[in-house]
Amino acid sequence: MALGKAVHLHEPMGGSGRGPFAPVLKERDRVVQNVRALVMEELGDRVPRPTFGSVVPRLLGDQGDEAAAHVIRVTLRAQILRHEPQIDMPEFSPQVTISSDDASTATRVVISISGVLKRTGEAVDVRVGIDFPLGVEP
């Protein structure tokens, strides 16, 4: 490097977007990431935030029926409104769909959450699919 020339560090890692100079998450991406964590983390798993999480992981082992879907819908909505004040959700969100191969056990639960960012009005849609035996589809 020659003396007297400015060094520009606007892409110090070659523009890959990784490493210590990676850009911070956009507000929408951060909200989506937090909502996914709320869905998949059991209530009380985070020691410093004991109210963070949901009952979804606890209910996954139970029989999937409309009563379980209702409990998931109501409690998850309350948790999202509590822990993600940046999102405005319509009354019908989240939606929970439980499907099964037979009448006795659920084989798939799909949770769809939609809303808008209060600050920008940008749409936020989160979909989490959970298969049985337990597995998560992005």
Task: Give every CB contact of residue 122 below 8 A, 6+ residues apart in sequence.
Answer: 27, 28, 116
Q: What is the residue range of 123's domain?
A: 27-137
What is the number of alpha carbons within 13 Å of residue 121 lying toward its C-beta?
A: 0
Q: What is the CATH number of the domain that holds 115?
A: 3.10.450.40
CB count within 10 Å of CB 103 equals 7
The one-digit pLDDT tens for each residue of the chain (138 residues) are 455 554 444 444 444 555 555 556 688 888 888 889 888 888 888 888 888 888 887 776 555 677 888 888 898 899 998 998 889 988 878 888 877 766 556 577 889 999 999 999 999 999 988 876 555 555
- Looking at the structure of the chain, the number of domains it has is 1
Q: List the beta bridge partners of residue 128.
A: 111
The answer to whether position 22 is within a domain reads no
Q: DSSP assignment, residue 26? A: P
CA 78 from centroid of its chain's CA atoms: 14
Give the pTM.
0.68
The pair phi, psi for residue 55, each rounded to 5°, is: -90, 0
